[in-house]
Structures are given as C-alpha cells and as structure tokens.
Amino acid sequence: MKALFRRGVSRNRVGGTAGPPPRATLLRVDLGGQDCVVTLRRSLRSRRLTLRLSNATGAVTVTAPPQLRLSAITAFIDRHRPWIVERLTRQPQRLRFTDGAVVPLRGIPHRLRESGDYRGRVQVEEGEYPCLVIPGDTPHVERRLVDFLKAEARRDLERAVATYTALTGTSAARLVLRDGSSRWGSCAANGALSFSWRLILAPPLVLDYVAAHEVAHLKHMNHGPNFWRLLNEICPGTAAAKAWMSANGASLHAYGPPPGPRRAVPPA
C-alpha cells in the first residue's frame, strides 16, 4: 500500500460531543538521541497516513488505516523526523509551578511563593504584585497549586453554567473537569458538560465564553446558524474571547506539571 502523507498542527477546540477516544498504540521514536513518544491511532475512515503535532502539548500523533503494517508506519515516521524535531523545538518552554514562578490566575499574573508552613490552604495576596502563597513541603507545592486551580475553575464554571442554563431554559446533567489538549469544553448527549481546568488561567471572558458555548449545545448539538445565534445572544463577548483563545490558548498548556508518563513500545 502506498502511504500518502499529510501534515498538520492540531488546534484546541471548543464544543463537540464527548465520546470514548479511539484505541491507540504508543511508539517510542529516537529523535537524534532524544526519545519521543508517538501516538499511533488506527481509523476505519483513514485512507492514508497523517502526521500531526499538537500546538498545545507537543504530542505527536500518526493516524493510519487499520490494515497498514507497523513497519510501513514506522518507516513513514522515520522519513519525517526532521519535521517533528523542527516543530518540537518551536514549542513553548514548560513553566513548572515552583517558588518564584509567575502564573496567570483569571488572566492576571501572580508570583508563586512557598509559605514555609506545613498546613493551610493556598492564599491569594492582592496588591501591586499579586502572589499565590502555597503551604506544604516543596515536593507537594505543584500538586497543591493544581488542586487549588481546579477548585477555582470549578467554582467559576459552575457559576457561569448556572447563569447560562437559566438564560436558555436548559439544565446540565453534571460538570466535569479535565486536562484535555484538543478541547476546552464539550457537551455530551446526556447533558454532561466537560471543561479544561486551565480555563482559570485565562481572562474571565474566556471561561465565560466556553461555558456559554457548551450550554448552547444543550439546545443545539451542532454548529449551525441557530447555535451561533443563540451563543452570540447570551454571550456578547464571543468574538473577543475567540480572538484571545486563537492568540494565546495554546500557551496555557505550558504551565504546570507535564502529562504523566506514557508507556511506549519500541518501533518494529
């Protein structure tokens, strides 16, 4: 089978029907002395090999027809190693949640500071130079801050969803927080709404827009004219929020701990 090549950079999306991800195999590829994990997905709808690199997380994904041999797929990856390396070098440097780092909270930069206390909660210190003061041992600071940000995101999202469901006469089955790299939010057929907790890092109009977007899907499970008419009616800041996300959304994935380790198999 002749493999046709198409390259692309995946973008974060808002909206869509939540569903189980396709089955995937993880391949370990040597990029000149540095290991890279490539996710291989086989799709019944795929007629050719495609290679994508997430602009948000740097994840590399190859999609292949189900019957194509693994040796052909790995040869395809090998031919395009220079492109993968070039794209990876352009990824924003990850900024870990450590003492002294500057992290946005609702779009406002806050400096992280370890309190030295072993108990207590993360505290927000307002002022000319806002701070997030984090208790606990240094190895646990990052986890504590992520927990705090998730709690803040849930609070803001619950408030926004309540506002928009009241405006549209709808109701959400439940609200779930995730850390996906392809969608900022999604609406399932059963009315469950899912959001990225990283929305708390963005200005409030962005979180507000994503909440309104998913609530609008409770009435219109598509992106047709009626959907956009309703969304713009309940969320006048839609255009500004979309422009901010287009320019800055991918950078939100550079904050905090990297994704958990993934087990990969060596290429055959």
Q: What would the pLDDT profile of 9-45 be if each residue is shown by its tens digit?
A: 444 566 655 444 456 788 888 887 778 889 999 988 8
Residue type at position 200: I
- The residue ranges of every structural domain in the chain are 5-89, 102-253
Q: What does the alpha-carbon distance between residue 164 and residue 237 come to, in Å, rounded to a whole number?
A: 13
Structure confidence by residue, pLDDT tens digits, 207-235: 999 999 999 999 999 999 999 999 999 99
Average pLDDT in the 117-121 region? 83
pLDDT at 53 over 50: yes
Please report the pLDDT score of residue 97 as a whole number: 93
- Report how far apart the first and last C-alpha atoms of the chain are (Å, whole number): 18
Q: Is domain 102-253 in CATH 3.30.2010.10, yes or no?
A: yes
Q: What does the alpha-carbon distance between residue 94 and residue 253 come to, in Å, rounded to a whole number?
A: 8
Residue type at position 88: L
Please report the pLDDT score of residue 93 as a whole number: 78
Can you give 44-79 as a three-state secondary structure string?
CCCCCEEEEECCCCCCEEEEECCCCCHHHHHHHHHH
Please report the pLDDT score of residue 140 as a whole number: 87
Please report the pLDDT score of residue 21 as a whole number: 47
